[in-house]
């Protein structure tokens, strides 16, 4: 009791200092910080800050340079538009960058901007070779005539598609017969030679669609070759496989060699060490399993041997970077509800002995920007703070701030406390959950409480900061949130992560119920005002809970959730995901039990609780009929329900104004029903 009184006093004291609360408008006013790079000699850090113009419903990214040793940041551009930095030369004081698909150069203070190239096509995902004599970039190439104006040139105003195979649409885009290809060209003094397609006539993509970028094609340090990522499969083969490979293209010979022909899963994110003697990448072993253990592999060009550095480590790697000397590797991985930095100091077969965790704390390290001497530049965030850049001293392990873009806002903001809670599951396992309290939390009062159901389903529920599912915003509206790290999430060993596949509606649902039952024991939780919310697999979870919750919850919100697993299997695009996680198709001799046991539509007769359903019109991962079926069920059963339909959004909500509508309707629904 004494601890509760002290905590109440501390929180009340903090509230008197900072009275403002998070609102949707304030959330969307925050600057979104992205690290660009550390200059070659380590004297400067370049970063971007993106702000959203609500009236114009668009974003604008500005670039900044800050001395690595500290000091004021210099704004490098005042004009609108997204830009990316290619290189920084601290000796000449020049910054090379990409703007509107063309190469530009400017002084290190942002002055004397000069456009170097004037290419007819935009130079997307551009990289200049280390010797400065070549460039690589990507652009679309028409390979297959599936769109009617391409099939029938005389019918230019027609709009029809003709398909003879699968993969006819992906994520939020219909296949139009065009593929992203990598081009290479001579480059000197801003002049580009004749571009050469290094993937001629191939119906394959690089970068990988829909999320691949410049990381999918890199130069070797000697500028003699390009290593690129591609899944060289088409049609049904593409739809059921995750088998990407690394390909090495020789500039002089003009030929391509598959570096990973015997690896059958995802192979991504290639990166050379400093002298080019070794190349590392991330690799999953099982074809068709997009959430397999992600290992860190290294190939030695001299010995022609490959070593799996994390084979014996019980975790999965998110991203990595070689150190300046090219002798050790830093990587990021989920661990116990956070994402942290790890180090492998011995890049050999005995690497497991040298693997160690470098950072610890109630935060996420979300990216490794670069290195200067014995310090790394990292981006860091937590549930109360959007990403900012930090320096990590590799000798002392201390973190210090590089950017403080949103400090003025946070200094005035009343923050809700975030705590760990350990819950005993139905199968007697220890499960961590994050609990987020309102800013003025008073344990003598009772609060409505939300169970947050994470998507993925195999994505980490770490200390992430979301601009949509923002826990601080929920807490500021007077809700306690419990976010359990249920089965299927990385950070608790490979086995915990694997247990969700084939068991979507089984143990993970029992984990959710264990979490809400555990927090409901607290005297400050109003047991008559419990809700469950979530998107994607989280939306599926809400639909499942609606049929099995036995009157625990008073309201639900489901965003782009899976409602009918049969119709979903028949309309979704990445069938490798459905085959792995559900167990295969809904026909044949061995139909997976999940279509009956774990499909929310099978529990339709048990639905009796108010529900808001959100559905994106361009979501081809969880297509529109899923949300419409659920809404129609609720309406025909006379259940209070609401459909928020976003015709221009995909699996997410990308538009700033649509996001404000989403958040307004979210809290309006909770106010009405909870």
Positions annotated as catalytic residues are 536, 619, 651
Reduced to 3 states (helix: H, G, I; strand: E, B; else coil), residue 472 is helix
- CA–CA distance, 299 with 49 (Å, rounded to integer): 36
Neighbour-count burial of 521, counting CB atoms closer than 10 A to its CB (0-12 exposed, 13-18 middle, 19+ buried): exposed
Order the strands of the 32-38 sheet from edge to edge: 32-38, 44-53, 58-67, 74-75
Residue pair 471/483 in contact (Cβ under 8 Å)? The answer is yes
Extract the runs of DSSP E, i.e. beta strands, from 119-170: 124-128, 134-142, 169-170
Please report which residue ranges of 174-269 form alpha helices under DSSP H. 235-240
Query: Alpha-carbon Rg of the chain, whole angstroms?
Result: 26
| C-beta of residue 97 within 8 angstroms of C-beta of residue 85 | yes
Cα of 222 vs its chain's centroid, Å: 32
Sequence-separated (6 or more) residues with CB below 8 Å from residue 498: none
| H or E segment and range at residue 11 | helix 2-17
Compute the distance between CA of residue 82 and CA of residue 381 in angstroms, rounded to an integer: 23
Q: Both ends of the chain: CA-CA distance in Å? A: 28
Cis preceding-peptide flag for 207 (omega within 30 of 0): yes
Q: Which residues lie closer than 8 Å to 637 by C-beta, 6 or more apart?
A: 604, 607, 608
- Non-local (6+) Cβ contacts of 571 within 8 A are 620, 623, 625
Helix, coil or strand: residue 268: strand
Cβ count within 10 A of residue 519: 22
Asked whether the beta carbons of 375 and 392 are under 8 A apart, the reply is: yes
Burial level of 652, CB count in 10 A (0-12/13-18/19+)? middle
Distance CA 478, CA 476 (A): 5
**Are 660 and 28 contacting, i.e. CB atoms less than 8 angstroms apart?**
yes
Query: Cβ(615)–Cβ(645) under 8 Å?
Result: yes
The set of long-range contacts for 661-669, using a CB threshold of 8 Å and a minimum separation of 24, is 662/468, 662/614, 663/24, 663/27, 663/468, 663/473, 664/24, 665/612, 666/533, 666/557, 666/612, 667/477, 669/555, 669/557, 669/612, 669/642
Residue 517, classified by CB atoms within 10 Å of its CB into exposed (0-12), middle (13-18) or buried (19+), is: middle
């Amino acid at each position: 009791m004494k601890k509760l009184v002290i905590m109440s006093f501390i929180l009340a004291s903090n509230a008197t200092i900072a009275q403002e609360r998070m609102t949707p408008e304030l959330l969307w006013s925050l600057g979104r910080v992205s690290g660009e790079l550390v200059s070659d000699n380590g004297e400067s850090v370049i970063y971007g800050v993106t702000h959203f113009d609500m009236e114009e419903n668009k974003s604008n990214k500005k670039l900044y340079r800050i001395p690595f040793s500290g000091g004021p940041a210099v704004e490098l551009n005042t004009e609108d538009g997204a830009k990316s930095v290619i290189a920084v030369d601290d000796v000449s004081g020049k910054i090379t960058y990409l703007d509107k698909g063309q190469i530009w150069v400017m002084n290190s203070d942002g002055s004397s901007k000069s456009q170097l190239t004037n290419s007819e096509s935009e130079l997307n995902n551009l990289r200049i070779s280390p010797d400065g004599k070549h460039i690589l970039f990507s652009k679309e190439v028409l390979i297959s005539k599936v769109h009617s104006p391409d099939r029938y040139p005389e019918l230019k105003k027609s709009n029809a598609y003709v398909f003879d195979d699968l993969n006819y649409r992906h994520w939020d885009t219909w296949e139009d017969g065009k593929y992203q290809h990598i081009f290479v060209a001579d480059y000197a003094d801003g002049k580009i030679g004749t571009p050469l397609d290094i993937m001629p006539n191939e119906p394959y993509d690089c970068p990988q669609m829909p999320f691949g970028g410049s990381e999918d094609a890199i130069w070797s340090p000697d500028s003699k070759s390009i290593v690129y990522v591609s899944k060289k499969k088409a049609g049904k083969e593409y739809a059921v496989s995750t088998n990407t490979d690394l390909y090495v293209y020789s500039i002089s010979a003009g030929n391509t060699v598959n570096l990973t022909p015997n690896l059958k899963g995802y192979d991504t994110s290639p990166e050379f060490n400093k002298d080019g003697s070794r190349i590392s990448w991330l690799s999953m072993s099982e074809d068709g399993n997009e959430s397999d253990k992600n290992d860190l592999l290294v190939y030695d060009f001299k010995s022609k041997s490959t070593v799996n550095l994390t084979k014996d480590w019980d975790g999965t790697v998110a991203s990595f970077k070689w150190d300046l000397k090219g002798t050790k590797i830093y990587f990021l991985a989920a661990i116990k509800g956070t994402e942290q930095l790890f180090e492998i100091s011995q890049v050999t077969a005995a690497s497991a002995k040298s693997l160690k965790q470098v950072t610890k704390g109630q935060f996420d390290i979300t990216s490794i920007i670069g290195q200067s001497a014995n310090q790394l530049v990292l981006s860091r965030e937590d549930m109360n703070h959007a990403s900012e850049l930090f320096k990590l001293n590799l000798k002392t392990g201390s973190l210090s701030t590089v950017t403080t873009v949103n400090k003025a806002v946070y200094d005035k903001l009343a923050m809700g406390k975030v705590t760990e809670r350990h819950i005993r599951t139905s199968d007697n396992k220890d499960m961590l959950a994050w609990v987020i309290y309102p800013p003025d939390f008073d344990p003598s009062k009772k609060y409505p409480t939300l169970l947050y159901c994470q998507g993925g389903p195999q994505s980490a529920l770490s200390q992430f900061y979301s601009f949509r599912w923002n826990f601080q915003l929920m807490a500021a509206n007077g809700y306690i949130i419990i976010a359990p790290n249920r089965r299927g999430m990385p950070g608790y060993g490979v086995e915990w992560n694997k247990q969700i596949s084939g068991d979507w509606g089984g143990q993970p649902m029992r984990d959710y119920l264990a979490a809400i039952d555990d927090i409901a024991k607290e005297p400050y939780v109003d047991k008559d005002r419990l809700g469950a919310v979530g998107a994607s697999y989280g939306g599926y979870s809400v639909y499942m809970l609606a049929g099995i919750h036995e009157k625990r919850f008073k309201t639900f919100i489901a965003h782009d959730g899976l409602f009918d697993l049969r119709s979903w299997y028949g309309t979704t695009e990445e069938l490798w995901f459905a085959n792995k996680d559900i167990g295969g198709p809904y026909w044949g001799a061995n139909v997976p039990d999940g279509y009956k046991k774990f499909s929310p539509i099978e529990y339709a007769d048990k639905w009796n609780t108010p529900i808001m359903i959100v559905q994106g019109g361009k979501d081809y991962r969880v297509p529109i009929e899923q949300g419409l079926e659920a809404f129609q069920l609720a309406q025909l059963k006379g259940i209070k329900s609401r459909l928020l339909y976003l015709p221009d959004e995909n699996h997410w909500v990308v538009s700033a104004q649509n996001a404000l509508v989403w958040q307004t309707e979210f809290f309006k629904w909770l106010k009405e029903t909870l």
